[in-house]
Each structure stands twice: as structure tokens, then as C-alpha cells.
């Protein structure tokens, strides 16, 4: 979420600095519209990354023998001996990623609404 805030602030300030001399008062609107657009792009990218993580949490970790083989060969640890259940880990990761997806969706809808609002004023 820091990336969203940073992208929004940097885009707004840079656009305002470049547009203000040419457009005057309208520069505020152009800067706000451009910042909302860049925020939408960052939110879309974060959302896609979270969807990939959710897919991995649901399928790759839970059903993969690769995770067991990796831990056994690299870390010299048998997950079954120490009672580590990958199903529980996958469910926990799915809950965390699901919550993050909901937060990204809320930010995305808000940024999209601001972008549409600013489009009507330009």
C-alpha cells in the first residue's frame, strides 16, 4: 500500500509542477486526474500479483510434493516428523491474501471513482 501512496503523491506533484505553467488553475485537475490514473495502474498490478499468490496458496503449496522435497533436501527436515501441515499453512496464506485483495479492491474502486470524476472536469 506504500507503493500506491508513493505513486499517487509523486505523480501528483510531478504533473502539477509540469502542467501548472501552461494551464494555470486547470493544472490542479490535470494533476489529480493523472495521479488517479497512475494509482489505478499500481492497484491493478498489485491485484494481479495477489491473485497469483492466492492461486499458489490454494494449489501449489497444498498439493505439491515439491514443497516437501525442498524442505527435506535443502533444510534436512521432514515436515511429517515435526507435525507441520501444509494444508493449514495454505489456508492461513489464503486468508491473508484474501484480506489483502479486498483492501486492494477498495482502494482500486476509490481511485477509479476519483479518476472518472476528474475526467468530467477536464
| Cβ contact 79:72 at 8 Å | yes
Per-residue pLDDT of 69-80, as tens digits, reads 777 788 777 777
Lowest mean pLDDT, pick from 43-47, 54-58, 60-64: 60-64
First vs last C-alpha separation in the chain: 28
Per-residue pLDDT of 86-118, as tens digits, reads 777 778 888 899 999 998 889 888 888 888 887
- Select from 75, 79, 8 the least CA-distant residue to 39: 8
Could you tell me the pTM of the whole model? 0.67
Q: Which three cell numbers stand for residue 49?
A: 500479483
Amino acid at each position: 500500500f506504500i507503493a500506491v501512496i508513493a505513486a499517487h503523491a509523486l505523480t501528483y506533484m510531478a504533473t502539477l509542477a509540469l502542467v501548472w505553467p501552461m494551464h494555470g488553475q486547470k493544472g490542479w485537475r490535470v494533476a489529480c486526474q493523472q495521479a488517479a490514473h497512475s494509482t489505478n495502474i499500481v492497484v491493478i498490478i498489485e491485484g494481479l500479483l495477489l491473485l497469483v499468490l492466492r492461486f499458489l496458496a490454494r494449489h501449489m503449496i497444498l498439493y505439491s510434493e515439491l514443497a516437501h522435497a525442498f524442505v527435506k533436501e535443502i533444510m534436512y527436515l521432514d515436515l511429517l516428523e515435526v507435525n507441520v501441515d501444509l494444508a493449514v499453512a495454505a489456508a492461513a496464506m489464503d486468508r491473508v491474501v484474501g484480506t489483502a485483495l479486498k483492501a486492494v479492491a477498495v482502494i482500486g474502486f476509490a481511485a477509479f471513482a476519483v479518476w472518472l470524476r476528474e475526467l468530467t472536469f477536464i
